[in-house]
Structure 1
Amino acid sequence: MASSNFLPSEDQFLCSVCLDVFTDPVTTSCGHNFCKKCINDYWTTNNQNMCPLCKKVFTSRPELLVNTFISEMVSQFRQSAQQKASSSSSEQQESKPGEVPCDVCTGTKLKALKSCLVCLASYCETHLEPHLTASRLKRHQLMDPVENLEDRMCTKHDKPLELFCKTDQTCVCMLCIFSDHKTHKFVPLKEEYEERKFKMEAQIQQIIQERQLKIETIKGFVDISNRNADMEKAEGVQVFTDLKESVERKLNELINTIEEKQRTTKKQAEDSIRELEQEISELMKRSTEVEKLSLSEDHLHLLQSVQALNIHHPPPTKDWSEVSVPPASYEGTVVRAVSQLEETLSKKMKKLVVEAELKRVQKFAVDVTLDPQTAHPLLILSDDGKQVRPAKVRPPCLPDNPQRFSQSACVLGTQNFSKEKLYYEVQVKRKSDWDLGVVRESINRKGPITLSPQDGYWTICLRNGNEYKAAAGPPVVLSLKSGPQKVGVFVDYEEGLVSFYDVEAAVLIFSFTGCSFKEKLLPYFSPCLYYDGKNSAPLIISPVGVN
């Protein structure tokens, strides 16, 4: 007999009826082996004496003979399998909470290695062996262990869920396609899984790319923020250095003022003391001479000497009764200096605030171009649409159109805007008269116009070379220390704000606030008319640069 180390494989000892290792194996007259109970139950159930394997029909139920050879081999096989199971079970891990246990183990449940979708059971390494060796069990579908295998069965037909209904987006069994899902479209579960897996992976990769792009965007914002912070710090250092230098200059001026007063008082005192000491010295000389004469008994000589010395008429001296050198008064000196410093710093800080504000609004610069269709006939526009000047002589008649101004010497920009911010700059050098601002798109362009917000105009103007006004209705006179050479125009549509800046001096000229814009706005320009050789210079739309 063969040694147990050389036992045949398990599938050679499987009953073809119960698909398990033989129990009391018997042999039919056709030579096939079955469990004694299995073959008897088979014949009883089918009510026919036929071999389950070769389908040979017996006229009467044959006598079943015990196959001693098979019995002995099965006994050795079972003993070897038990030893192997005992050995492997000691090496296998006991199932822990959260892990799928083996459904076959009795007593201590070992950790399942696989679940069978046909048997609807999970197996440890030992009890999984038949599915790995038996030819019929090898065809079963195994997967990583899962719980609740009954959920993978169709509740209606008690069959495995093997297909996916694309119409209803649900898992179905083979019988479902002939009932509730008869006209629907089906694919195998694996195909749907692969398709969804591909889509999910593609979607995840897209999200990853979007997140990576977002990271790069945020990093870009951080870089911009860092650069802006560095610029702001540098500007802040410069500003506070200027303020510090202003304070130090004022302190030096204060100290110099006090010291100058101190030096003047000291000099006056020293001069008076020196003059008084000189007079005292002269008088002491006379006193000494008189004392010498008083010792002589020659009265004639004494009188002659006194007359010669002119003692009765002492040397001329200054009347010191009205002369005084009072202590220098410094009262109010520090207060005045601090007041002047406050005024200086206030002006400087206002200038710095406007400079910062101007830098901010310049970020909203737009490229404005003049619209020749709106220009009054007495205006001349440059080919690039960036300059407008008054004509010295009336040019040939231009075709009239609804957009053209008929009486007022003005022109509009081609760009209209709403719900946004914009900024542009206009050079006004060597001009004695001009108007600048923005207007509503619907303003009347025929006949005389009135510059006021009520009529859709938000403008400032210059007249006679030095009269600046804001057309606020009534007009507001603007007191400017010097005439601007370049005017910046800023509009915040949503905030209802129109501001005008002296760009080079960094001064806010005027602001219209609380405006109610209900339609599109257009830039407005008027170089006014040519007056006997005056006001011939153009208005020039300049590129915006940070000053």
Structure 2
Amino acid sequence: MSAASCLLTEDQFLCSICLDVFTDPVTTSCGHNFCKACITQHWNVNVPYQCPNCNKLFYTRPELQVNTYISEMAAQFRQSAQQKASSSSSEQQADKPGEVPCDVCTGTKLKALKSCLVCLDSYCETHLEPHLTRSGLKKHQLIDPVENLEGRMCTKQDKLLELFCKTDQMCVCKLCTVLDHKNHDVVPLKEEYEGKKAELGKTEAEIQQMIQKRRLKIQEIKHSVELSEEDADRELANGVQVFTALKESVERRMNELLDMIKEKQRKTEKQAEGFIKELEQEISELKKRCTEVEQLSRSEDHLHLLQSFRTLNTAPPTKDCTGVRVSPPSYEGTVRRAVNQLEETLSKQMKKLFEAELKRVQKSAVDVTLDRDTAHPNLILSNDGKQVHDSDVKKNLPNNPKRFNCFVCVLAKQSFSSGRFYYKVQVKEKTEWILGVVRESINRKGKITMTPPNGYWTIWLRKKNEYKACADSRVRLSLKSQPQKVGVFVDYEEGLVSFHDVDAAALIYSFTGCCFTEKLYPYYGPGLNDGGKNSAPLIISPVNHTE
């Protein structure tokens, strides 16, 4: 039976209804075979009963029995087909997408294990065997399987590309070195490969370093965002606390004002009520006396009138009402005094805020020193570069393009092009000074208009205690006291330059909405010596974070 089944084809074991190998095959009287379930379902739907193959008509529905012979043949065929499929799957591994197929295999292409640079073919394990066993083929150069081996041949000479021309930066064959690349710097592919591989390793290392830098920058940015969130939360909490306190203070002062006004009015009304009550009582007494006098005047009893005249002829005792008056209470200055008290409360809160702000900006303190190459010839700098004053004597110095030749000033050596920075300067006992920051490209020769458009963000003290901010138009500053130490704070990205009275913990002035695109340098102008009246130096002071 096994031998017979091998002679039969797959079509002979297929049901013409389901087109699959027979299951429980039955045979009609006309000699055709079907799956029992298939022909049964067919006849359940189609009446009269006909053979699906030859259309023979059956007047009664045939009773069909399973054909055991056909059933056994179909079962054996099914088993043989399954074994064949399983064997083929396990013994032959066809190439997958992305893998190099064997060039010798016919039909199903198996995965290549090696490619030969001489034969220009790729081989699977079976077809590679001659290259591993035959002496003539053993000399061929084998490499890991690659596609397009023709691309490894010189298109001009049809020879293997074995060399690299460093002069023209291209792969060449041996024949090309004596024809098109004569006298060129030619090396074996392996040598150039090693060099380029080393370069790729270096490039990879550089790229990995760049990736690491960017990862660190991402961490830095995330950390900055976290710090910003912390600052925002802290500022929100402080703001809510301060404004809540101010709101409560305003409400308390308003209630005190209303209570005071109401109390004054209540006292006035009470005083008036007392006066009115007394006067009404006196009116009542006077009306009574008036009635008695009227009755006595009508009496014709001579004796009675004369006896009563002495007591009724005079008015009853009363107070002199001409001096009685109720003056409305004075409310002059009441609201003003309440507002003054509120201002004092607000001033205390502002002082606390400025103290907290000053502590925060002092965290951005930087160490700066004066740059002698920028100093005006009149200026004298200390050896440590921390102090400067005017000498009234112009020194003969080289014409340095960095040096100021008109304004008596000097810049710091340090510059800043991002982030925040803060420095502090002592201005004690000086009658003139200028402080701030300037951009790198400012004009340093001749007279200069010190304004932000020209690259200057500064404030100054002139004679007669006149403080001004050098904005587009000069802004006169009203300060409660003369600063002894001035702190200068810059937030580059925020576009902010602010000046602080360090001792008073008060804001002097702020430039806001600035647009910085260059390096910024701290700027110091000690002012003219003025015959010794302004000889005190500007001193760059170290920042004490506990101030």
Corresponding residue for residue 145 of structure 1? 145
User: Residues 89 and 153 (structure 1 numbering): CA distance in 2 closer, same or farther, change over 3 Å?
Assistant: farther
Corresponding residue for residue 109 of structure 2? 109
1:150, CA displacement in angstroms?
A: 1.9
Corresponding residue for residue 199 of structure 2? 199
Are 2:223 and 1:253 aligned? Answer: no
User: Residues 424 and 527 (structure 1 numbering): CA distance in 2 closer, same or farther, change over 3 Å?
Assistant: farther
Are 2:370 and 1:368 aligned? Answer: yes
1:461, CA displacement in angstroms?
A: 4.4
Corresponding residue for residue 121 of structure 1? 121
Letter in 2 for 1:150: E
Instruction: Decide which of 305, 313, 328 is 2:316's aligned counterpart.
Output: 313
Are 2:461 and 1:466 aligned? Answer: no
Does 155-164 or 469-478 show the bigger shift?
A: 469-478
1:160, CA displacement in angstroms?
A: 2.6
Deviations 1:442-484 (A, max 9, x none): 45xxxxxx99769x99984433x53557899999876554333
1:225, CA displacement in angstroms?
A: 4.9
CA distance in 2, matches of 1:371, 1:150: 69
User: Residues 420 and 155 (structure 1 numbering): CA distance in 2 closer, same or farther, change over 3 Å?
Assistant: closer
- Number of corresponding residues: 420
Q: Report 1:84-99 matches (<5 A).
A: 91-99=91-99
CA distance in 2, matches of 1:289, 1:399: 106
CA contact (8 A) 1:152 1:161 kept: yes
Aligned to 2:122, the other structure's residue is in SS state strand
Give ranges in structure 2 of 5+ residues lacking alignment: 1-85, 293-300, 400-404
Corresponding residue for residue 430 of structure 1? 429
CA contact (8 A) 1:427 1:540 kept: yes
User: Residues 100 and 401 (structure 1 numbering): CA distance in 2 closer, same or farther, change over 3 Å?
Assistant: closer
User: Residues 387 and 117 (structure 1 numbering): CA distance in 2 closer, same or farther, change over 3 Å?
Assistant: closer
Aligned to 1:136, the other structure's residue is in SS state helix
1:285, CA displacement in angstroms?
A: 8.7
Q: What RMSD over aligned residues (CA atoms) do the two structures have, in Å? A: 6.2
Are 2:484 and 1:485 aligned? Answer: yes
Letter in 1 for 2:426: Q
1:217, CA displacement in angstroms?
A: 3.7
CA distance in 2, matches of 1:367, 1:485: 20
1:274, CA displacement in angstroms?
A: 4.4
User: Residues 400 and 367 (structure 1 numbering): CA distance in 2 closer, same or farther, change over 3 Å?
Assistant: closer
Q: Give the TM-score normalised by the residue count of structure 2.
A: 0.55
Letter in 2 for 1:367: T
1:207, CA displacement in angstroms?
A: 1.6
1:402, CA displacement in angstroms?
A: 5.3
CA contact (8 A) 2:289 2:315 kept: no
Letter in 1 for 2:210: E
Corresponding residue for residue 541 of structure 1? 539
Q: Report 1:457-536 matches (<5 A).
A: 460-463=460-463, 465-467=464-466, 480-487=479-486, 504=504, 505-508=506-509, 523-526=524-527, 528-529=529-530, 535=533
CA contact (8 A) 2:377 2:397 kept: no
CA contact (8 A) 2:387 2:538 kept: yes
Give ranges in structure 1 of 5+ residues lacking alignment: 1-85, 293-298, 444-449
1:508, CA displacement in angstroms?
A: 2.3
CA contact (8 A) 1:111 1:124 kept: yes
Identity of aligned residues (%): 41
Are 2:211 and 1:208 aligned? Answer: no
CA distance in 2, matches of 1:138, 1:212: 47
Letter in 2 for 1:401: N
CA distance in 1, matches of 2:151, 2:481: 89
User: Residues 115 and 245 (structure 1 numbering): CA distance in 2 closer, same or farther, change over 3 Å?
Assistant: same
1:507, CA displacement in angstroms?
A: 1.0
1:89, CA displacement in angstroms?
A: 7.4
User: Residues 235 and 333 (structure 1 numbering): CA distance in 2 closer, same or farther, change over 3 Å?
Assistant: same
Corresponding residue for residue 79 of structure 2? none
CA contact (8 A) 2:390 2:529 kept: yes
CA contact (8 A) 1:116 1:142 kept: yes
CA distance in 1, matches of 2:470, 2:204: 60
Q: Report 1:36-435 matches (<5 A).
A: 91-227=91-227, 229-231=229-231, 233-235=233-235, 237-239=237-239, 241-277=241-277, 312-313=315-316, 315-316=318-319, 359=361, 366-368=368-370, 384=384, 386-387=386-387, 401=396, 412-413=409-410, 425-431=424-430, 433-435=431-433
CA distance in 1, matches of 2:524, 2:260: 58
CA contact (8 A) 1:460 1:471 kept: yes
Aligned to 2:263, the other structure's residue is in SS state helix
CA distance in 2, matches of 1:287, 1:279: 12
Deviations 1:292-348 (A, max 9, x none): 9xxxxxx9899978966999526448589986989x99xx989x979x98xx79x96
Letter in 2 for 1:368: L
CA contact (8 A) 2:113 2:123 kept: yes
1:200, CA displacement in angstroms?
A: 1.0
CA distance in 2, matches of 1:388, 1:424: 15
User: Residues 253 and 306 (structure 1 numbering): CA distance in 2 closer, same or farther, change over 3 Å?
Assistant: farther
Letter in 2 for 1:482: S
CA distance in 2, matches of 1:265, 1:283: 26
CA distance in 1, matches of 2:508, 2:224: 28
Deviations 1:62-119 (A, max 9, x none): xxxxxxxxxxxxxxxxxxxxxxxx9677522234455433322333333333332222
Aligned to 2:115, the other structure's residue is in SS state strand
Deviations 1:378-435 (A, max 9, x none): x9876656456799xx9xxx8963589xxx9x9654758999799865433334x334
User: Residues 255 and 424 (structure 1 numbering): CA distance in 2 closer, same or farther, change over 3 Å?
Assistant: same
CA distance in 2, matches of 1:149, 1:387: 77
Deviations 1:113-157 (A, max 9, x none): 333222222233333333344443343333333322222223333
1:192, CA displacement in angstroms?
A: 2.9
Letter in 2 for 1:428: V
Letter in 2 for 1:209: Q
CA distance in 2, matches of 1:234, 1:115: 69
1:257, CA displacement in angstroms?
A: 1.0
Corresponding residue for residue 72 of structure 2? none
Aligned to 2:259, the other structure's residue is in SS state helix
CA contact (8 A) 2:368 2:413 kept: no
Aligned to 1:164, the other structure's residue is in SS state strand
Aligned to 2:151, the other structure's residue is in SS state helix
CA distance in 2, matches of 1:119, 1:372: 76
User: Residues 530 and 187 (structure 1 numbering): CA distance in 2 closer, same or farther, change over 3 Å?
Assistant: closer
Aligned to 1:159, the other structure's residue is in SS state coil
User: Residues 500 and 316 (structure 1 numbering): CA distance in 2 closer, same or farther, change over 3 Å?
Assistant: closer
Deviations 1:252-298 (A, max 9, x none): 21221112112222232233334544666677799999999xxxxxx
User: Residues 348 and 543 (structure 1 numbering): CA distance in 2 closer, same or farther, change over 3 Å?
Assistant: same
